[in-house]
Structure 1
C-alpha cells in the first residue's frame, strides 16, 4: 500500500455508503473519526471487508436467535457487523445470516477446552445430561447454549481420560488461563466441588458406565453415539465448566464471482463489493478451516482483476 501511495486511515468508523445520485453507483464512504465526519471516494467503488457480526448481540438476536446471542465471544470482539447494515439502502440479497461457527469456551477467562468436551459426559447445572457427546464440538456448543440454563455445561471425566496424551495441550491451555477445573476422589465429592447435585451426578455417571459396559449407550436419553466412549471409573475425577462460544458468522450480502454485491433481483449493485465474512453465500452450517480469511484474500484479488477491466 505504501509503495502504491495508498493512504490508510485508522480509527475511522464507516457510518454511510455514498452514491452517485445520477445512477446510484456506490462511490465512497462517510466515516466518523476523532476529527468528526469525513468522506472518502473510490474510483471504482467500495469493498466491504469488515467481517461478520459475531460480536453484535442485537444482530445475532435478530438473525441467529437468542441462544447464539447469549454466547460469549470466542472470536474477535471488534467484528460487530454495522457495515453489513450500511448496504441496506441498496436492497442486497442477504443470505445465511442464521448460520455461524461456534465452539466451547470458558467465557470469563477465554479458556478453550476444545478436545476435552468430547471425552466424557456433559451435564447441566441441574446435573442432567443434555446432549449427545458423540456430536462435534460445534454441535455440542450449540446445544449447550440452547438447552442449558445460562449456557453452562460441565464435562465429567476420570483420571485415565485426563492423562490421554492427545489432551495434554488442552489441559495446559485451560490451566494457563486460570479457568477452573474441579477435582475430587469421588463422584459425590466432585459434584460438591463443582456446585452440582451429588446424588444426581452419581446416578448419571453410574447409568452411563452401565450402558457403556452393556453396549447400550445409544439407548440413553439423550443417546451417546461417541465412536470411542470412555468409562468414568478411575479417581480422581474432573469436572470442566464450559459454554458455547461464538466464533464467526457466515451470512451477509450475496456476492458473485467478481465479489459484486447482488440485489434482491440478482443484479450487481454498481460499485459495491464484499469479501470474507462481510459477504454471504460462501459458508453455511460450518466452514473449511482457514478458509475465511483465505476467501477474503482470493476474492479481494478477483475484485482487483475485475476493476482492471473497467479501466480499459
Structure 2
C-alpha cells in the first residue's frame, strides 16, 4: 500500500477516536491513521476533562469486580451496590431526555455498554470503583447510588494516557497538529480520504480504503455557533474542556450532504467555578472546576433567591442541565451554600481551599455581606431566603420525624409540610442551614458538549445522507458528533460510554469495508 494510503482514517483523539482506531485494528485493518487537530499537549479532546466515568449495565458487584483495580476482598464485603439493568439504563435515558432519545441509538448504547466496558478493560483501560464520586460511607458501608459505579484511574487525564498507550501497542499511527480541512470523495460520492494541513500551512491528502471515521467533537468551543444554535447568551458560557472542538468537521460533513439529527439547541452544561478560565479548561485541574455539591446545599442567584430544586433528583441526572439554569440568572452566576454539616459531605477535589475560592463566615448575615463583594446584589433577600428555607425544613421534620437523611437515595427530606412549604421547594436532602461556619462558592455555566450532530446508522455508525436517506459510503461517526441520543439532558457517564460503543462499531464497520475495496481513486499527496 502506498505511504499515504490507509485502511481506515480516524479524526479526533478522544475516547471515541481511540476506541474506533483500536477497533479497526482488531477487525483486520492493517494500517490505521488517527489525525488530531490539536498539539499533543491537548490530546484527548474533552475526554481529558472528564471525571472518567462510564455508565454501564452491570449485574451487581461481582460483575464489575474483575475489571476494577481498587477493591480488596475486605473492602468488597463493605460495599452495597444494586445491579443496574438494561431496563434501568433505558428508563433513565427516556426520563431525562423527555423520551426523545432515538430509540435504536439508545438501545444499542444500553445493550452494548457492559460488553464495551469489558472490552476497554482488555485494552488497558484501568477501571476503578468510583468511591469518591458515586458512593457515600454510611454506617461503615459504602453505598453506591445513581446507577453509575465505574470510573478510570486518574480520571480523564488517565483515560487519555491509557488510550494513547493502547493505540501504540496496537500499531495505530497518530499525528497531532494535523487538522483535517476537507473530506475527499471520488466521482460517485464515496468518501475516500481527507485533506490535512501542516503546521507550516501546506496541505496534503491522505486516502483510505475503508473510510473516514469522524470523532472530532461538537461545537461547544465555538462561541458564534453556540449563540447561533443554543441561543442568545450562550456565547458567554465558559468552555469546560478543549478549545479545539469548534464544529469544523460537523460543517464539512453537512456540506458533503450528511443529515443532521438531535437537539441542536441543547448541550451538557454544568455548575462551573466562576473563577475558571473562560475559553478553555485548565489542563491541570480539568474536571475539578465542576461544582456538583449543590444537592446537599442551596443555590442562589445574585438577587438572593433560589432558582432550582437542588434535590429534585440524584446529581447524576441534574448536573448536565443546571448550568443552563445558572446561565439564565442575572450575570450568569450563582452562589452555592452549605452549613458545617453540609460542608462535611463535599468532595475535596472540587471544594478544597486550593481548588476553589471559599467564602466563609460564622453567621448568614456576615456571609451575605461578604458575598455582596462577590456580586450578590441583595444580601437582605439572601438572608430572608435562608430563614424561610430553615423554617420550612423545621416544619417538615416536625411532621415527619421518621424520615432520615440519606444522600445515597432520594430520601424525601423536604421543605413541604401542611404549612405549605416554599414557592420553590427542595424535595430531597433538605438539610437545615444553621450550623457555623457557613460556606459559599461562586459558580457559573460551564458548557461541556453539544447534543446536535449527524444522523447515523445505529448498527454500523455510518453517516446518513440527507439526499438519499442511506449511508454515505465511507463515512462514519462516533462520540459527540452523533446526533439524536441526548436531548436537554443526559444520564451522567453515558457520554464516554456512547463514544466507546459507537466508536467500536465504527472501527469494525470501516475495517470490514476496507477488506473488499479497491484502492481509492483520488490522488494521495505529501
TM-score when normalising by structure 2: 0.54
Kept in 1, the 8 Å contact 2:240–2:448? The answer is yes
- Alignment of 1:126 with 2:324, yes or no, is no
**Counterpart pick for 1:139 among 313, 318, 321:** 321
Partner of 2:484: 281
CA distance in 2, matches of 1:68, 1:30: 31
Tell me by how many angstroms 1:60 deviates. 1.8
Judged with a 3 Å threshold, the aligned counterparts in structure 2 of structure 1 residues 168 and 258 are, in CA distance, closer, same or farther, namely closer
Report how far residue 287 of structure 1 moved.
4.1
Q: How many Å apart are 1:131 and its aligned residue?
A: 1.8
* Match of residue 497, structure 2, among 288, 291, 295: 291
Is 2:461 the partner of 1:263? no
> For each residue in 1:80-109, what CA deviation from the matched residue of structure 2 results, as whole angstroms up to 9, or x when unmatched?
221111112232221122332222110433
2:340 is the alignment partner of 1:159: yes
Alignment of 1:126-205 (within 5 A): 126-135=303-312, 136-146=318-328, 148-164=329-345, 167-170=346-349, 173-177=351-355, 179-195=356-372, 196=376, 197-205=378-386
Match of 2:181 in 1: 15
Residue in structure 1 matched with residue 40 of structure 2 by the alignment: none
How has the CA–CA distance of structure 1 residues 124 and 247 changed in structure 2, closer, same or farther, with 3 Å as cutoff? Answer: same
Structure 1 contact 90–269 (Cα < 8 Å) conserved: no
Corresponding position: 1:44 with 2:210: yes
Aligned to 2:236: 70
Cα distance in 2 between the residues matched to 1:255 and 1:308? 19
Deviation track 1:126-176 (CA, whole Å, cap 9, x = no partner) reads 212222222423332221112x12221101211121123xx24256x4422
SS at match of 1:87: helix
Cα shift at 1:223 = 1.7
The yes-or-no answer on 1:224 pairing with 2:425 is yes
Gaps of 5+ in 2: 1-31, 33-167, 277-281, 283-287, 313-317, 397-413, 519-526
* Contact 1:118 1:137 (C-alpha < 8 Å) held by counterparts: no
Q: CA deviation at 1:222?
A: 4.7
Q: Distance in 2 between matches of 1:209 and 1:12?
A: 57
Q: CA–CA distance in 1 between the matches of 2:170 and 2:369? A: 64
Is 1:27 aligned with 2:192? yes
Selected match of 2:437 from 210, 222, 236 = 236
5+ residue gaps, structure 1 = none
Q: Conserved in 2, the CA contact under 8 Å of 1:157 and 1:232?
A: yes
Q: Does the Cα contact within 8 Å between 1:101 and 1:287 map onto a contact in 2?
A: no
SS at match of 1:217: coil
In 1, Cα distance between the equivalents of 2:251 and 2:194? 13
What residue number does 2:88 align with?
Answer: none
Asked whether the 8 Å contact 2:323–2:447 carries over to 1, the reply is no
Q: For 1:15 and 1:180, locate their aligned partners in 2 and report how far apart those are by CA, in whole Å.
A: 41
Q: Give the conservation status (yes or no) of the 8 Å contact 1:113–1:174.
A: no
Aligned residue pair count: 306
CA distance 1:157–1:28, change in 2 (3 Å): same
Q: 1:34-56: per-residue Cα shift (whole Å, max 9, x none)?
A: 23122222123321121222212
